[in-house]
Structure 1
């Protein structure tokens, strides 16, 4: 609860005002039955018309005040609930931005979307719908019981039987419905996953005529959600029958015993009427409180799911260098910064931020696996030196971990063991922001965002001039097709760039990376959809216009890397050979097989 209340601090004023309005509204409502009893027992019995009008006017005033307070309560509650929901959503999204690839791999994307939307909405609704009954029902319960005992203590003993019975029944319902809410939210995850997969791959679905298969898959998870929801809500709605059973039983008992008291003259009709009003308020308050518990139970399930996201520690942090260095204290090595304390040392380290100047890259016996408990390494004993300004090609059979290797350089994943250095410093000594600012990477899966062509290019450099944009587009051969788009650089791209071809999308992504003016450029199979003539122009432009930039090219085609200064052949996550095109073509069997198979395929 402490973590949750931290998000409520900014809305403390609205929360206090809402609670104050709730309590005041409740007190005014509780006064009305007393006035009604006075009208019957005094005004009507004595035939005092002026007394009846006075008390009636007082009841109207109390009702109007309650109405105004209720309206204010609704406004303050909405502001509080929606505000807290927005704060949690913002904090959760911000936390997700700190995740590395290994963190996001732990949660499925649909599950993260559900936790960011549906789960937050559940908590938000619990506040807006549960705050009023949550603070109203206890006051109404105890005040109504107090006033009932004041009217007739003997008759009020009925509460001592009715209230515990209803409380026990409601407790059993809440206890059993809680685990069902967790299953229901997990079922929502599965539904979102199927929807996302289908919409993302809709072209593949259409191409393979798999609509019926997808419908069947969706029907399965949809029915699973329906079944879990029905089980949860069918148990939750037992609240109402239980409430009605106890309420009508209590009313019958009070009418029976109260009628006898009225008959013998020990109780007035007006008192019995007001007593019944308080009975309904007591039982209604118990019912409202049980509904609050149901809302709280469901929101608690959602909050636990959100906490899993919030408490997930980023696998990659900027303070690794300090953490590693701090361990030397145990060996008796004390530096000036150690004397400042760990937090201060981290702050000083970030202030003295290292800068990448040339782009020399060194791999020293690097091993990597996606999970610590995995039996085998994805990459094993990787050692290679890449000098500043060099062009390095990486090739190998499918599944040889080429993409994984280059993703270690900007720390999208963290090497399990070994060391990767840039300009002589381990990459973890650079801040992630500076490291990734200095490295431009065009991933194997090209991503464009909704917006114009220009807005997508400006991801590389927000304040880029039109001249810089045109230069980057010339190198990436974007200028060959940009004029054919209906509005040129102002052409709106659909979600994911659906209105441009695969080759055009790749060239736009390359231009975006070039515009970043990085020290290191990584192209991960980024020209696979481009024809060889255009690819040759891009390579020529990179070599001519960006000679000092370190370039790493992951490719399937030998033509993409044959001019590289050195070529790295990966096989099963290990280095098979390193050399130039000519030396590998003479000596390496894997390279020969790839080269001649592609030559033969080209001649066909």
Structure 2
């Protein structure tokens, strides 16, 4: 049953691969034509060589004019063979790399529309491994398959036809020994797929660890965890070594095993041919031609067996990338979805229920009504659901029950793009792409002028440090902000939002990496920016949200208290405890 399931998986994966190749069938047909031309011209050379031998009659009796003519023919045929082989390889490369491009594009496009739940639940390094390493391995197998499988199969058929035209009985000797070679190759191939699959999975695990450690090297060194990380790496590396050795060992058995069978074929042809030549059934030239064909006939079996092994690896990698491509995307937008327009900042949450895992309840019966221009601060202990509320407002996650409405429209009935364009969001975790400062600032407003950009940067107190950079706004920064400090990166993120000035704002610990003096200036800039705009502020430092119109005090997904700063202090409840605890010695 297990073997059947594996074969079904492989057949399914192969069908998907062929579907991608179908788009380039014109190149596939051309490749086959050139493969046939290559093989036919290659197989015709031994015939001419045999004729040359037969015209060497005896010492001093060599028909030179005929031999020179035949040698000239061999030269022309060799030229045709080289050209056909080159054109075949051009077609094969075109098919392979176009297919790889399509698969990578589709995989990356799928990552862009996958729900955050999937991204959060999978190692980022492992996903990178699927899109980069697995696709590269698949490309190698596919290219080898096209280059050697076509020519190998055509060579086998061609040599059989040429041998049959010379002598049927000796050809039967070759055909009878052939199944042994096929059996050996298929026996080994069946056992290597699962090994290559394990190798690919372990490689993804290793890539994930390396990616994670590089991104968090400061934390690793700060807690002196280098030895522990090395032990974990060595353990994964050991498993990868074991899986790779097993896969390579079994796959490498193919070549010597098939070579042994091929030697049997050659021996059989040599003996049968020698006896036939002695009886006068064959000429010496024909025997030479037959031995050449025996070599050419058996050679593709070595190549095909190698290709089959490589294809096992390629299919194992392809299966992993297809799993990613076939993942369920985020909930599709309705057919007649509306565009959110004329947003003033009316937001309603009605009986909202949500949990990341069904068995772990988080937000239950959450209700909130926000009017245009109001500042809503969300406070509470870690894990109470503050950031989750932001994820739901932006529709990074969909509610399990209830609804969230903006301007009276359920956000599930409007385009995600128009909803997210209505919010300006600054998070505690900054994100900057590799590129210039300018490209990062105008991300939300590509048509912004230089003057607008500088004004926003000044308002965010980022202009002064940008001007000190080597090329100012045209300075190229690396991935995740490169050498910029955490505070500088956060100032750029704030400037990016100030440039857009959308009707609603989300500030999730937006000043956590900024010094106190700059924070005071930023708070004043935020105050101006928030005038007339609905704002949601998540803060751990309660001193930063005292001016909020509504403070929501959350605990375990519920709103415990709601009101202004003074009202909540007067209640002497949970908020009051939180507020005064920050001054306790």
Aligned counterparts of 1:516 and 1:6: Cα–Cα separation in 2:
44
Q: 1:17 aligns with which of 24, 30, 42?
A: 30
Query: Which whole-Å CA distance do the structure 1 matches of 2:266 and 2:363 have between them?
Result: 75
Distance 1:495 1:313 in 2: 29
Query: How far is the alpha carbon of 1:356 from its aligned partner?
Result: 4.8
Secondary structure at 1:376 match in 2? coil
Mapped to 2, the partners of 1:469 and 1:481 lie a distance apart of 14
Between Structure 1 and Structure 2, how many residues are aligned?
570
Superposition map of 1:76-475 within 5 A: 76-319=91-334, 346=335, 349-350=336-337, 353-371=339-357, 374-475=358-459
Query: Cα–Cα, structure 1 residues 225 and 27, in superposed 2: closer, same or farther, change >3 Å?
Result: same
Whether 1:578 and 2:542 are equivalent positions in the alignment is no
Secondary structure at the counterpart of residue 394 of structure 2 = coil
In 2, Cα distance between the equivalents of 1:35 and 1:252?
Answer: 23
Contact 2:345/2:503 (<8 A) preserved: yes
Q: What is the distance in 1 between the residues matched to 2:89 and 2:511?
A: 58
Give, in whole Å, the separation in 2 of the partners of 1:486 and 1:37.
Answer: 75
* Residues 598, 486 of structure 1: alpha-carbon distance in 2 compared, 3 angstrom cutoff: farther
Instruction: Tell me: CA distance 1:44–1:404, structure 2 relative to 1, closer, same or farther (3 Å).
Output: farther
Say which is worse superposed, 504-513 or 255-264, in terms of deviation: 255-264
Aligned counterparts of 1:161 and 1:553: Cα–Cα separation in 2: 80
Q: Secondary structure at the match of 1:393?
A: strand
Question: Residue 359 of structure 1: SS of its match in structure 2?
Answer: coil
What is the alpha-carbon root mean square deviation over aligned residues? Answer: 2.0
Q: Deviations over 1:117-175 (max 9, x none)?
A: 12222232223222122111222112211222332222222223321001001001000
Stretches of structure 1 that go unaligned for 5 or more consecutive residues are 320-345
Secondary structure of the residue aligned to 2:345 is: coil
CA offset digits 1:412-451 (Å, max 9, x no partner): 1111111111111100111011111111222231112222
Distance 1:183 1:472 in 2: 52
The superposition leaves residues 449-491 of structure 1 with CA deviations (integer Å, 9 ceiling, x where unpaired) of 2222222111121111122223322332324543444443233
Contact residue 39 and residue 158 of structure 2 kept, 8 A = no
Distance between the aligned counterparts of 2:454 and 2:534, measured in 1? 22
Other-structure match for 1:567 = 551
Instruction: Quickly say closer, same or farther: Cα 1:149–1:488, change in 2 above 3 A.
Output: closer
Separation in structure 2 between the aligned mates of residue 137 and residue 479 of structure 1, nearest angstrom: 66
1:513 aligns with 2:527: no
How far apart are residue 6 of structure 1 and its match? 4.6
Residues 244-292 of structure 1, C-alpha deviations (whole Å, 9 max, x = no match): 1111122222223322222333332222211111111221122222223
In the alignment, is residue 594 of structure 1 matched against residue 564 of structure 2? no
1:247/1:283 contact within 8 Å kept: yes
Give the Cα–Cα distance (whole angstroms) in 1 for the partners of residues 572 and 482 of structure 2: 41
Distance 1:499 1:95, change over 3 A: same
From 53, 71, 80, the equivalent of 1:40 is: 53
Shift of 1:113: 0.9
Distance 1:6 1:440 in 2: 42
Q: Separation in 2 of the partners of 1:267 and 1:14?
A: 42
Q: Provide the C-alpha distance between the structure 2 equivalents of 1:532 and 1:116, rounded to a whole number of angstroms.
A: 43
| Residue equivalent to 2:4 | none
Aligned residue number for residue 31 of structure 1: 44
Q: Deviations over 1:370-428 (max 9, x none)?
A: 24xx3122222211111111111111111112111111111111111111111111001
**Alpha carbons 1:439, 1:520 under 8 Å: kept:** yes
Distance 1:504 1:24, change over 3 A: same
- Aligned partners of 2:501, 2:24: CA distance in 1, in Å? 44
Question: Does the 8 A contact of 1:22 with 1:70 survive in 2?
Answer: yes
Structure-2 change in CA distance of 1:588 and 1:396 (3 Å): farther
CA contact (8 A) 1:442 1:509 kept: yes
8 A Cα contact 1:389 1:548, kept in partner: yes
So what's the TM-score if we normalise by structure 2? Answer: 0.93
| Aligned mates of 1:146, 1:447 — CA distance in 2 | 65
CA distance in 1 between counterparts of 2:301 and 2:513 reads 66
2:473 matches 1:489 = yes
Mapped pair 1:539 → 2:523: yes
Partner-residue secondary structure (3-state), 2:511: coil
1:94 and 1:44 map into 2 onto residues whose CA distance is 70
Q: Shift of the alpha carbon at 1:206? A: 2.6
What residue ranges of structure 2 are gaps of 5+ in the alignment?
1-13
| Contact 1:460 1:516 (8 Å CA) reproduced | yes
Range with bigger deviation, 36-45 or 142-151: 36-45
Q: Distance in 2 between matches of 1:128 and 1:300?
A: 13
Q: When the two structures are superposed, what TM-score results if normalisation uses the length of structure 1?
A: 0.90
User: Is the contact between residue 401 and residue 572 of structure 1 (CA under 8 Å) also seen in structure 2?
Assistant: yes
How far residue 590 of structure 1 moved from its aligned partner, in angstroms, is: 2.3
